[in-house]
Structure 1
Amino acid sequence: MITLARAESGDAAELRDIQAAAFAADVAQYGCGPEGHDALEWHLNLIEKQSLYFKILYQAKIVGGVVIFSRENGHYHLGRIFIAPSHQNLGIGAAALRALEERFPDARKWTLDTPYRNVRNHHFYEKLGYMKVGETEPDAGNGFYLFLYEKQFSR
Structure 2
Amino acid sequence: MTKQNEQITLAPVPQEELAIFKEELQEAFMKGLQDSFQEAEDPTEMGPIPSDEDFEHSLTAKDSVVRQIVLNGERIGGVVLKINPDTQRNEVDFLCIKASAHGKGLGTKAWEAIEAAFPETEVWELHTPHFEKRNIHFYVNKCGFKIVEFYHQGNPEPNVEGEEPDSDEEYEFFRFEKVMAKVSSES
TM-score in same-fold range (> 0.5): yes
Asked whether the 8 Å contact 2:77–2:96 carries over to 1, the reply is yes
Asked whether the 8 Å contact 1:7–1:47 carries over to 2, the reply is no
Equivalent in the alignment of 1:10: 16
Asked whether the 8 Å contact 2:124–2:178 carries over to 1, the reply is yes
Equivalent in the alignment of 2:68: 55
Determine if the alignment matches structure 1 residue 74 to structure 2 residue 80. no
Instruction: Give me the whole-angstrom Cα distance separating, in 2, the residues matched to 1:37 and 1:60.
Output: 29
Q: Partner of 1:66: helix, strand, or coil? A: strand
Q: Partner of 1:117: helix, strand, or coil? A: coil
The amino acid that maps onto 2:83 is S
Instruction: Give me the whole-angstrom Cα distance separating, in 2, the residues matched to 1:37 and 1:26.
Output: 20
**TM-score, normalised relative to structure 1:** 0.84
Q: 1:103-123: CA deviations, max 9, x gaps?
A: 111111000000011111111
1:79-118 matched pairs, under 5 angstroms: 79-118=93-132
The amino acid that maps onto 1:36 is D
How many residue pairs are counted as aligned between the two chains? 152
Equivalent in the alignment of 1:36: 52
Which runs of no fewer than 5 residues in structure 1 stay unpaired? none
Asked whether the 8 Å contact 2:10–2:67 carries over to 1, the reply is yes
Relative to total residues, which structure has the larger strand share, 1 or 2? Answer: 1
Q: Note the C-alpha offset of 1:152.
A: 0.2
Q: Note the C-alpha offset of 1:133.
A: 0.1
Asked whether the 8 Å contact 2:8–2:70 carries over to 1, the reply is yes
**TM-score, normalised relative to structure 2:** 0.71
Equivalent in the alignment of 2:157: none
Instruction: Give me the whole-angstrom Cα distance separating, in 2, the residues matched to 1:114 and 1:144.
Output: 10
Q: Note the C-alpha offset of 1:49.
A: 7.2
Asked whether the 8 Å contact 2:147–2:176 carries over to 1, the reply is yes
Asked whether the 8 Å contact 1:130–1:150 carries over to 2, the reply is yes
Q: Note the C-alpha offset of 1:48.
A: 9.7
Tell which deviates more after alignment, 118-127 or 15-24. Answer: 15-24
Higher-Rg structure is: 2
Which runs of no fewer than 5 residues in structure 2 stay unpaired? 1-6, 38-42, 154-165, 183-187
Q: Note the C-alpha offset of 1:27.
A: 4.9
Q: 1:48-85: CA deviations, max 9, x gaps?
A: 97610000111201111001001341111001101111
Determine if the alignment matches structure 1 residue 24 to structure 2 residue 35. no
